[in-house]
């Protein structure tokens, strides 16, 4: 039970020692107080599953990140204006309208149609690595795979993808940190501006006609719609590009590390591959790629026995909620048969991740390939290190070694 003494600031997450023991740090926060005012951050911090999940779907709270853009630093203001047009940081009715525009690209049928493309991409990566006996799971697999998938959806040519990724990094860094210096803010705003310029040309067909059934083809129907703001459309395409690969990249790396650190769990999946879809859910809970959600009190209100003033922000710590023993008994144990309990790695409520089904599919295909084609993989090289971020949980690299195979064992069946 919480003791309600003064807990450490959430900013302490950024210390290297706390990145390495993140969930111990969260446990200490939650045990001290599961909802507290963090003076250094200037926000309420919620760490229990009950408070996080209920607040995420509570209509008394807003998802708007920048209620007063003019109060943002001059260097960050251009980025803030773009983010404020994205569905992630919008409320009803705008949120539902924007989500409906993009949701057609993520229907079960649309996601299923990507299965073979994802499988082929993973097969090529592992086949290339097989003769070498080495693979950096982050750099060689977790980063290029989701980027290729989301770029395929938007019709971004292969020769442009590394550039698109380079624009994504400063923006993701800005989203993931509460305190930026002027240079970081300026870099994030400039990168977003470059991405929007590129997407503007792409959607206006400067890159040739869109592929049938691609997201670009679907969006083309909205370009000439007088009820659809084109800049708003661009902002949400940028959101898909950034969120569509950054978070899945982190999940793949985190999941692979968890299995490397728990060889018995990895062996269980090799012996029982039918557990892999359940393992994806458990691994998302165990080490979530997205650690925070932001909400703001629309008016003065009470939450979990605390009095919140209108406009005050609440940081919902998904990573802490997913290790809450009240929701998940023995939360620090990997249990692929874990009953009940709904993790919040994809968010909760109306803002539940639009691309969750796609991320799950990528996770299933990647885990099956790693476990079946690299059966003796082991961690090598430098100790894993984490990106410095409050919002995102992801590795900078993850090098493994395995027995080289000249042919790469191609031809594994596409998972059902």
pLDDT digits (tens, 9 = 90+) for 23-42: 999 999 999 999 999 999 99
Q: List the Cα angle 355/194/147 in 5-degree steps.
A: 35
Classify strands 399-401 and 313-317 as parallel, antiparallel or unpaired.
Answer: unpaired
Once rounded to an integer, what is the mean pLDDT over residues 177-206? 88
Tokens of 161: 């993808």
What is the pLDDT confidence band of residue 141, given thresholds at 50, 70 and 90? very high
Distance CA 292, CA 297 (A): 16
pLDDT score, position 214: 61
Which of the 8 DSSP states describes residue 100?
Answer: H
Whether residue 411 has pLDDT greater than 50: no
Mapped onto helix, strand or coil, the DSSP state of residue 116 is helix
Residue 221, Cβ density class (10 Å: 0-12 exposed, 13-18 middle, ≥19 buried): exposed
Tokens of 76: 């960050």
What integer best gives the mean pLDDT of the chain?
A: 90
Whether residue 338 has pLDDT greater than 60: yes
More confident residue, 97 or 315: 315
How far is residue 401 from each of residues 60, 133, 325, 349, measured CA to CA in Å?
A: 51, 5, 35, 41
Tokens of 236: 């949400």
* Residue 307 β-bridge partners: 302
pLDDT score, position 382: 84
* Residue 81 β-bridge partners: none
pLDDT tens-digit series, residues 276-332: 999 999 999 999 999 999 999 999 999 999 999 999 999 999 999 999 999 999 999
CA 370 to chain centre: 21
Which of the 8 DSSP states describes residue 142?
Answer: I
Whether residue 126 has pLDDT greater than 50: yes
CB atoms within 10 A of CB 333: 12
Once rounded to an integer, what is the mean pLDDT over residues 393-413? 78
Tokens of 75: 């260097």
Q: How many residues does the chain have?
A: 416
Once rounded to an integer, what is the mean pLDDT over residues 94-100? 89
pLDDT score, position 410: 40
pLDDT score, position 209: 62
Phi, psi of 191 (to 5 degrees): -65, -40
More confident residue, 283 or 100: 283
What is the pLDDT confidence band of residue 226, given thresholds at 50, 70 and 90? low
Distance CA 50, CA 48 (A): 5
pLDDT score, position 360: 96
Q: Which range is least confidently modeled, 72-76, 147-151, 160-164, 177-181?
A: 177-181
Question: Mind listing the domains of the chain with CATH numbers?
Answer: 10-401 (1.10.630.10)
pLDDT score, position 201: 87
Distance CA 106, CA 115 (A): 13
- Highest mean predicted confidence (pLDDT) among 18-22, 208-212, 272-276: 272-276
What is the pLDDT confidence band of residue 207, given thresholds at 50, 70 and 90? low
User: Does the predicted model carry a pTM greater than 0.85?
Assistant: yes
Distance CA 31, CA 185 (A): 35
Whether residue 206 has pLDDT greater than 80: no
* Residue 303 β-bridge partners: 306
Which of the 8 DSSP states describes residue 139?
Answer: I
Residues with Cβ < 8 Å from 70, sequence gap 6 or more?
A: 77
Whether residue 3 has pLDDT greater than 70: no
What is the pLDDT confidence band of residue 415, given thresholds at 50, 70 and 90? very low
Residues with Cβ < 8 Å from 281, sequence gap 6 or more?
A: 343, 360
| Residue spans of alpha helices (H) in 212-298 | 215-223, 230-261, 263-271, 276-286
pLDDT score, position 379: 95
Inter-residue contact 393 to 288 (CB < 8 Å) = yes
pLDDT score, position 213: 53
CA 258, 260, 264, 268 dihedral sign is positive
pLDDT score, position 407: 59
More confident residue, 231 or 401: 401
Computed over its alpha carbons, how large is the radius of gyration of the chain?
A: 21
Which one, of 287, 96, 79, lies nearest residue 189 by Cα?
79
CA 49 to chain centre: 19
Distance CA 345, CA 105 (A): 21
What is the pLDDT confidence band of residue 83, given thresholds at 50, 70 and 90? very high
Distance CA 10, CA 177 (A): 11
Once rounded to an integer, what is the mean pLDDT over residues 89-105? 88
Distance CA 18, CA 192 (A): 30
Inter-residue contact 395 to 384 (CB < 8 Å) = yes
Mapped onto helix, strand or coil, the DSSP state of residue 78 is helix
Once rounded to an integer, what is the mean pLDDT over residues 406-412? 53
| Residue spans of alpha helices (H) in 204-229 | 215-223
Which one, of 193, 194, 196, 105, lies nearest residue 152 by Cα?
105
pLDDT tens-digit series, residues 346-394: 999 999 999 999 999 999 999 999 999 998 999 998 888 999 889 999 9
Inter-residue contact 3 to 31 (CB < 8 Å) = yes
């Amino acid at each position: 039970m919480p003791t309600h003494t003064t807990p450490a600031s959430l900013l302490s997450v950024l210390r290297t020692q706390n990145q390495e023991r993140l969930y111990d740090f969260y446990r200490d926060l939650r045990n001290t107080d599961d909802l507290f005012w963090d003076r250094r951050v200037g926000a309420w911090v919620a760490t229990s599953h009950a408070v996080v999940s209920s607040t995420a779907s509570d209509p008394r709270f807003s998802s708007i990140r920048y209620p007063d853009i003019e109060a943002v630093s001059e260097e960050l203001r251009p980025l803030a204006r773009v983010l404020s047009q994205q569905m992630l940081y919008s409320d009803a009715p705008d949120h539902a309208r924007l989500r409906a525009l993009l949701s057609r690209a993520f229907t079960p049928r649309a996601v299923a149609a990507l299965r073979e493309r994802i499988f082929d991409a993973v097969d090529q990566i592992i086949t290339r690595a097989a003769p070498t006996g080495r693979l950096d799971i982050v750099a060689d697999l977790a980063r290029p795979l989701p980027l290729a998938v989301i770029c395929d959806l938007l019709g971004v040519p292969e020769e442009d993808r590394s550039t698109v990724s380079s624009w994504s990094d400063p923006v993701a860094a800005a989203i993931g940190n509460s305190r930026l210096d002027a240079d970081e803010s300026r870099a994030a705003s400039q990168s977003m501006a470059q991405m929007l310029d590129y997407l503007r040309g792409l959607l206006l067909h400067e890159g040739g006609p869109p592929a049938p059934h691609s997201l670009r083809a679907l969006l083309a129907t909205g370009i000439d719609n007088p009820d659809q703001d084109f800049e708003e459309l661009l902002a949400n395409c940028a959101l898909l590009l950034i969120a569509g690969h950054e978070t899945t990249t982190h999940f793949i790396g985190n999941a692979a590390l968890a299995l490397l650190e728990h060889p018995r769990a990895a062996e269980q999946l090799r012996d029982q591959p039918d557990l892999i879809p359940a393992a994806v859910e458990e691994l998302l809970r165990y080490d979530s790629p997205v650690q925070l959600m932001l909400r703001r009190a629309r008016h003065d209100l009470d939450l979990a026995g605390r009095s919140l003033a209108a406009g005050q922000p609440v940081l919902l710590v998904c990573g802490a909620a997913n290790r809450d023993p009240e929701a998940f008994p023995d939360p620090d144990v990997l249990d692929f048969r874990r009953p009940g309990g709904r993790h919040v790695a994809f968010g909760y409520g109306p803002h539940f991740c639009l691309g969750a089904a796609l991320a799950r599919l990528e996770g299933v295909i990647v885990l099956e390939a790693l476990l079946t084609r690299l059966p003796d993989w082991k961690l090598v090289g430098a100790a894993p290190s984490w990106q410095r971020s409050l919002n995102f949980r992801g590795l900078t690299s993850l090098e493994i070694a395995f027995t080289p195979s000249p042919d790469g064992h191609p031809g594994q069946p596409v998972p059902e």
